[in-house]
Amino acid sequence: MKVSVKVPATSANLGPGFDCLGLALPIYNTITIEETVLPGTGVEINLISEKENIDDIIFDNVPKDENSIIYKAVEMLYNSIGQEPSELKINVQSQIPITRGLGSSASVVVGGLLAANKLLGSPADTTALLSIATEVEGHPDNVAPAILGGFVLSSQEDDGSILTEKLIWPDEWDITVCIPEFELSTNISRSVLPENVPMSDAVYNAKHLAMLIQAVNTKNVKLMKNALKDKLHQPYREKLIPGMKEIIEAFRHEDGIIGTVLSGAGPSMLVISHKYDLDKIKSTVRDIWESLSIKSDIRTLKIEDKGAEIVEE
């Protein structure tokens, strides 16, 4: 039996929503799992990139055995029902650029879990799948929208349970996804964050996250412009991302630009706008990065309201 699952890219944080906000985007990885009939073959993982990606993704450093995060997720699911994974062939067809802050690792974790769950007869419900995916990823901000689709607020509680709430993103707010050609691993991006932050910074982000939720719910552009500010991660990560400061500054006082934020751990960025010239956004970002000899892929995308879904069996 063979099962394929199509999983959207995701963008986490959106400024003040560090580790708790994420949205799904219409760029996809497709994960296929097949139970093989040859005993003793173990796990086989094949990673296939799409040629149209901006840098023809190279997977040389991605584990393709039992050390892969996709296999770890599948193994955890099997173990949760008292089984061990059988011989499996796993194919990952990738359109989501890796190490760009677009949830590529979350997509393979979610795709592997949903495919394996279907192979096993669907013993795990969405709650259980979210819990396993979060345990593998470390936080739910990417896996929640990857599973549920849309714009999602999520929290891992002290007892390990995952709380989620889907919010309705205003259709009239455009999202331009700016993807530079250089990679930035999540581990490196997290390494620059302080272990402790001033109380004033924590309070600042709590206030702005509350503003963001209200702004989205009421489609309040003025409030959203203030809400997207952050003091917990973006100021520290800025030094790792050439052009980030210049891009933010270029749009700071532009009418129609709601805000510019990092996508996840970066280096990709989101420019959120309302009734603004989208071509001007693209040319401005492209020119800034080109001045630094950085190529880019810039797309205006709608939020993908569907989460991961089985596309064939």
Per-residue pLDDT of 245-267, as tens digits, reads 999 999 999 999 999 999 999 99
Rounded average pLDDT over 170-186: 95
What are the residue boundaries of the structural domains of the chain, listed by start? 2-168+303-312, 173-301
Task: Return the half-sphere exposure (C-beta side, CA atoms, 13 A cut-off) of residue 61.
Answer: 5
Q: Any idea which of 81-95, 185-199, 227-241 has the lowest mean pLDDT?
A: 81-95
Q: How far is CA 102 from CA 178, 179, 184, 264, in A?
A: 11, 9, 11, 7
Helix (H) / strand (E) element for 153: namely strand 151-156
Q: What is the pTM of this model?
A: 0.92
CA distance 212 to 77: 35
> Could you tell me which CATH class the domain 2-168+303-312 is placed in?
alpha beta
Whether the Cβ atoms of residue 32 and residue 48 lie closer than 8 Å to each other? no
pLDDT at res. 149: 98
Nearest Cα residue to 168 out of 64, 23, 32, 10: 23
Residue 60 pLDDT grade (very low, low, confident, very high; cuts 50, 70, 90): very low
> Could you tell me which CATH class the domain 173-301 is placed in?
alpha beta
